[in-house]
Chains A and B, each alone.
Chain A
Amino acid sequence: QVQLVQSGAEVKKPGASVKVSCKASGYSFTTYGISWVRQAPGQGLEWVGWISAYTSHTYYPQKLQGRVTVTTDTSTSTAYMELRNLRSDDAAIYYCARDPAILPGRGSDYWGQGTLVTVSS
């Protein structure tokens, strides 16, 4: 069965970086993409970025351009999301989700369990 298993909770100081992993299993990793979505406490969903595991092409929201990088390691079927220069409003649960490989926004059909990122001095 399709599974996305994310790395554990992180506590970071403002200005630091965080890198969250998402290990996929149960499907052919390179025939899909991976989206990253975050949810601040008590807030709605916010799209963080997308990568095609087939082409490694990426898209990011303008708001996070320059601070976020999404990558994949096809040898281990793992996707990564790195966010740099963390601020207090980056504190959230970060989810990875499986997407079609062509472009983002076609519907994320499987989701990871989420990774809580806390930003505190």
Chain B
Amino acid sequence: QSALTQPASVSGSPGQSITISCTGTSSDVGGYKYVSWYQQHPGKAPKLMIYEVSNRPSGVSNRFSGSKSGNTASLTISGLQAEDEADYYCSSYTSSNVVLFGGGTRLTVL
């Protein structure tokens, strides 16, 4: 199975909003509500930011939100802050009972 498709990079200025897309198929992103988003700073383990498409774990800022339309999921970060600069990965459960990750998106805060 192929990885989910994410843009390689996105950028935004402090205070702005950005959206990262994650495109799969009807066998993964489009077929289930089990899409997650992770933030990873250099040299650190990933951190869960969104689960089940749009749910935030306790302690995650409400500036992070998730949604899905068809086979594409999206992560939106509003009120960009310097600390948001990181790599972001989406993942999805699939019909084969496996997990696919996206290729990752590097967010640069200008």
User: Which A positions have Cβ atoms within 8 angstroms of B?
Assistant: 35, 37, 44-47, 50, 59-62, 95, 97, 103-109, 111-114
Contact = CB atoms under 8 A, between A and B. Distances in A.
Contacts of A104: 93, 97-99
Contacts of A61: 1, 98-99
Contacts, number: 76
A62 B99 CA distance: 11
Chain A contact residues, majority secondary structure: loop
Contacts of A106: 34, 36, 51-52, 93
Nearest to A106: B34
B36 A107 contact: yes
Interface in B10-51: 32, 34, 36, 38, 40, 45-48, 50-51
A44 B52 contact: no
A59 B97 contact: yes
B51 to A, nearest CB: 3
B46 A95 contact: yes
B64 interface: no
A40 to B, nearest CB: 12
A114 B32 CA distance: 29
